[in-house]
Amino acid sequence: MGRALRAGLLILCGCGATPREPTRDAGAVGAAEGLGFSGSIAWDDGARISEVELAPSRVPPGAMMTIRWTVADAGDGGSARVRVRTPRSVARQVVFPGGARPQPLTADPRDRASEPLAFTEGRHELALELPAPWHPETAIITLERDGATAREGPRLDDGAAVLAIAPVEARPTAVTAARARAITIDGALDEDVWQRPGHALGQSLDGEPYPGPDEAGEPTLVWFAWTEEALLVAGRLPDVDLWSEYSAQDDPLYRQEAFEVFVAGDNSGARYLEYQVSARGVTFDARFPRYRKGDEAWDSSFATAVALRGTVNDDRDRDVGWDVEVAIPWTELCQETAVPCPPRAGQSLRVNVFRLERPGRTGSLGLSLSPTRTPDFHAWANAAVLELAP
């Protein structure tokens, strides 16, 4: 097993190294090209896997990929599963075990496993779907066997063999706004349109889930809907300490805790609007004719309301969270952005939703609907695509 494969796996698992082109040797994976392991993987029962191939070289989220491999000396074989794993779950394993025991594998809801396969000798081929959304830059393809453990070649501490690394094509989160009748903007998410599954906000830079699968707590969820008059956004924000010291319109809510909505007609970074709400119901709004060239003196006609599950600024209790509803008039969107009017079913626009949270009133946490991939909430290249449903 060559040094190049080891380096490539650690880089793509997000372990903090600086990405670089690995040196090629006899056992290397061409990670940048999405190739499979070119050496031989041995199992403790004598079976071997070789000639691993992966196509295409870069996989879009939601698309199919094909993995091929050859099995020799399978004996009775038994059954196996091929699994698509996130770098986050793989990073919790030790690819080359030795020394201290690694952390146990934590299930990641994005991981996917094939149906059981017969582990028999010969050439095998399997089509796998990469889930969508999928924001990690890579997907790790592993094969695990019932009653057998990989002992030579790239492997995880749970006994699975690492067959390949698939580079993933960056795609923004795609969401849908449900058609709705007029609703009351009161912060109570009791209308039917808010009973659908919500979209979880992930970490703003890379889209990783927050909280993660091994952490306590509930995710922050958002919903979208629309009427002929307005674009509607709702959020449910778990929070054990409701806190905001700002009390006046256009106070800098972003310096403490806030729910933010950005809307534009495209992802050019020009002509977009920003709306913010705090748990106290205080609002901030600004229009941006150009990227980051904002007009904070501009006043929106948007409506918003919050419903608290706790008390704001009381550190003697433990809160549950807060809900928020926002209604943005189409007339405003069409005047200040490239969004066309009147709105129609099938129409798309670009949006992003952010949550600013200060754990312990001192820490800093940023969550987003679609990751910015750069430390800038005004970045539009990967902003979510919102489609208006019939």
Whole-angstrom distance, CA of residue 30 vs CA of residue 339: 43
The pLDDT of residue 11 is above 60: no
Question: How large is the C-alpha radius of gyration of the chain?
Answer: 24
> Phi and psi dihedrals of 332, rounded to 5?
-70, -45
The 8-class DSSP code of residue 205 comes to T
User: What is the pairing mode between strands 161-167 and 48-55?
Assistant: unpaired
Q: Which of 12, 50, 4, 56 is nearest to 29 (CA)?
A: 4
> How confident is the model at residue 205, as a pLDDT?
96
pLDDT at 3 over 50: no
What percentage of the chain has pLDDT greater than the value 90?
Answer: 78
Average pLDDT of the residues of the chain: 88
Q: Check pLDDT > 80 for residue 142.
A: yes
Residue 25, pLDDT > 60, answer no
pLDDT in tens, 61-112: 999 999 999 999 998 889 999 999 999 888 876 554 444 444 455 578 899 9
283-337, pLDDT tens digit by residue? 999 999 999 999 999 999 999 999 999 999 998 899 999 999 999 999 999 999 9
CA 329 to chain centre: 29
More confident residue, 152 or 37: 152
Predicted confidence at residue 35, as pLDDT, reads 62
Q: pLDDT confidence of 29, banded at 50, 70, 90?
A: very low
Q: Which amino acid is located at 243 in the chain?
A: W
Lowest-confidence segment of 12-26, 207-221, 257-271, 320-334 by average pLDDT: 12-26
Q: Measure the CA–CA gap between 113 and 343, rounded to whole angstroms.
A: 41
Least confident of 82-96, 116-130, 325-339, 375-389: 82-96
pTM: 0.85
Confidence of residue 6 (pLDDT cuts 50, 70, 90): very low
Give yes or no for a contact between 93 and 102, defined as CB atoms under 8 angstroms apart.
yes
